[in-house]
Amino acid sequence: MVLLHPLLTAAALLGASARAQSVVGTPFGFASGTTGGGNAAPAAPKDTNELKEWLADPNPRVIVIDKEFNFIGTEDTCTDCECCIPDSNTCGDAGQNAIKTEGSDWCGSYPATTCTYDNAGLEGMEVASDKTIIGVGDAGVIRGKGLRLVNGVSNIIIQNVHITELNPQYIWGGDAISLDGTDKIWVDHVKVSLVGRQMFVTGYESSGGVTVSNSEFDGQTKWSASCDGHHYWSVLGYGKGDQITFANNYIHHTSGRSPKIEFDSHWHAYNNFWENNSGHAFDVGEGANVLIEGNVFSNVKTPMNPEDTPGSTFAVNAQDASSCTSALGRPCIANELTSSGELSGNDEAVLSGWPKGEGDTKAMTTDKVPSYVKANAGVGKLGSGGSGAASSSVSITPSPTSSAIPSSIDNIFLGVPGRKDPTIPSAPFSISVAHPQGRTYHARSCYRRKEDSRHAS
C-alpha cells in the first residue's frame, strides 16, 4: 500500500476539487450570454507581470486571482510632481488634492502644489476579449492598479475580486474598472475601495450588454473630496448608448456620483442598497434613461439630485408599479426610503423606449434587500449565491513556473485566510471534497514511520 505525505496529498488534490474554483451563477440582464474565457483551462498567474500579460493577450483565458497582486511601486513613483488644490478641498490632508494630468486643463486656475503618487494606479491594465477573471475565496486582491476594458473588447467576466488602493489621496489617482466601447461585460461580486477617482466608469464610446451585480462600492476613506470621510467619485456612466443592468449592489459611505449617468444610455437599477450617503446618489444627465425599482435608500441625504437631472427617470412607487409590465414582462417593485430625502421621476417614456435585449430580470421586495445585499455583495461570498443558476466548477492549473503547493495549506482545507504556518496533523487524516454535481472525492493520508527519512520532520 502506498502511503502519502499530507503535502503530496494536498498537491494531488489541486487537480481535483480541493482547489476547485467556481464561476458562480449565470450572467443576466444586459450581460446575458456572456461566457468570458469559456472552457479555457483555469490558471493562476505567478506575479504581476504575468497577470498583465495574460489579461492583454488574444487567447481565451480563465485567470484565477488566488492571492494579492500588489502593483504599488512596479511603475515607479512620481515624487514632488505637479498637482493642484481644488475648491472642494477645504480640509487639508483629510481632503483630496488633484494630480495635474498630461493633456488635461482640469486644474485650471486652482492653486498649484506638489504631490507624490504611485504611477501604476493612473491607468488600468488592458483586458482583452474572452477573459474570465475570478478570485479565490476572499484572497483575490488587485492592489494599486485597476482594469481597463476599451477599444471594442467583449465577452469578459470579472468575479470575486477586490480592487483597492489606487492613490486614494488624489483626484485622478486612478479608476478601478473602466469601460470604453465594450460589449457583453459581467462584473459580479467585486469589491472596490480606496480609489482616487471612479470605482466604475464607462465612456465615451458605447458599452452595451453590461451587468454590474452583487458588488460592494465601499466609500470609506481618509481622503474625502467632500471632507467627511466619504468618497465622492463613485460610479460614472458617460458612454453614448450604454445599456447597463445594475443590481444587488451595496453602495455605502459615498457623497456623490452614485451613480452619475449621462448621454443616450439605458440603466436599470434594482435591488441595490444605498446606505450612509452624505450627498446625492443619482445624478441623471441629458439623454439618459434610468429605471429605478426595488431599491432601498437608508440615510441617503439626496437620493436624486434634482438640480442636475434633466434626463429621463422612472423611479417606481407603489402607485405605478404595474406600469413596468409592458417593458419588463412583470410589475416593478416600489423603492423604499428610510431617513433619506426624496426620490422623484415618473417619465413613462423610459418604459416605452426600453431596449428589448435585457432579458428576464427577477426582483425581490424591498423588505429583503438590505439583509440579502449585505450578506451577498462583495468578495468571499460566492457560496452565498446571488448571481443566478448553480455554479459550474473548474480546477485551477498553476502557472508552469509557480509552486503547485500554496503557501498556506489552510487555504485548501479550511478556507481561513491569513494563517501562515498551519499545524500539519501528526496523525493520519482524511479529506472529503464535495463536487457541485453531488459526487464526493475522498483522500486519505498518513505518515511513514519516523525512520523513513524521506518524510520525517
Chain-wide mean pLDDT for the chain? Answer: 85
Distance between CA atoms of 186 and 381, rounded to whole angstroms?
Answer: 17
Is 451 exposed, middle or buried (CB count within 10 Å of its CB: 0-12, 13-18, 19+)? Answer: exposed
Nearest to 282 by CA among 298, 312, 261, 251: 261
β-pairing, 429-434 vs 440-445, is antiparallel
> Is a pLDDT exceeding 80 seen at residue 47?
yes
Query: Percent helix, strand, coil in the chain (nearest 5)?
Result: 15, 35, 50
Q: Is the link from the previous residue into 372 a cis peptide, with omega within 30 of 0? A: no
Contacts of 242 (CB under 8 A, 6+ apart): 202, 203, 206, 207, 208, 210, 263, 265, 266, 267
Pick the catalytic residue: 257, 330, 449, 454? 257
β-pairing, 289-293 vs 131-135, is unpaired
> Which range among 8-17, 69-78, 413-422 shows the weakest confidence by mean pLDDT?
413-422
| 330 included as an active-site residue | no
Task: Tell me what pLDDT residue 231 has.
Answer: 99
User: For residue 383, what pLDDT band results from cuts at 50, 70 and 90?
Assistant: confident
Distance between CA atoms of 35 and 26, rounded to whole angstroms?
Answer: 9
pLDDT, tens digit, for every residue of 398-445?
A: 555 443 333 332 332 233 333 333 333 334 434 343 433 343 334 444
> Is a pLDDT exceeding 80 seen at residue 395?
no
User: What is each CA distance from 305 to 177, 208, 449, in whole angstroms?
Assistant: 24, 25, 73
- For residue 372, give the C-alpha cell: 440579502
pLDDT, tens digit, for every residue of 264-295?
A: 999 999 999 999 999 999 999 999 999 999 99
For residue 128, give the 3-state DSSP assignment. coil
Mean pLDDT, residues 372-389 taken together: 79
* Cβ pair 252, 217 in contact under 8 A: yes
Mean pLDDT, residues 67-89 taken together: 98
* Cβ pair 71, 144 in contact under 8 A: yes
pTM score, whole prediction: 0.83
- For residue 399, give the C-alpha cell: 502557472
Direct distance between the N- and C-terminal alpha carbons of the chain, in angstroms, rounded to an integer: 22
- For residue 157, give the C-alpha cell: 467576466
> Which range among 227-241, 330-344, 392-406, 418-432 shows the weakest confidence by mean pLDDT?
418-432
Domains and CATH numbers, the chain: 62-384 (2.160.20.10)
User: For residue 387, what pLDDT band results from cuts at 50, 70 and 90?
Assistant: low
> Is a pLDDT exceeding 80 seen at residue 71?
yes
Mean pLDDT, residues 317-334 taken together: 94
* Cβ pair 362, 332 in contact under 8 A: no
pLDDT, tens digit, for every residue of 162-204?
A: 999 999 999 999 999 999 999 999 999 999 999 999 999 999 9
User: For residue 212, what pLDDT band results from cuts at 50, 70 and 90?
Assistant: very high
Q: Pick the most confident of 7-16, 64-73, 101-110.
A: 64-73
Task: Tell me what pLDDT residue 359 has.
Answer: 87
Mean pLDDT, residues 121-127 taken together: 99
Element (H, E) at 213: strand 207-213
Task: Tell me what pLDDT residue 53 has.
Answer: 99
- For residue 100, give the C-alpha cell: 495635474
Distance between CA atoms of 298 and 274, rounded to whole angstroms?
Answer: 6
- For residue 364, give the C-alpha cell: 425581490
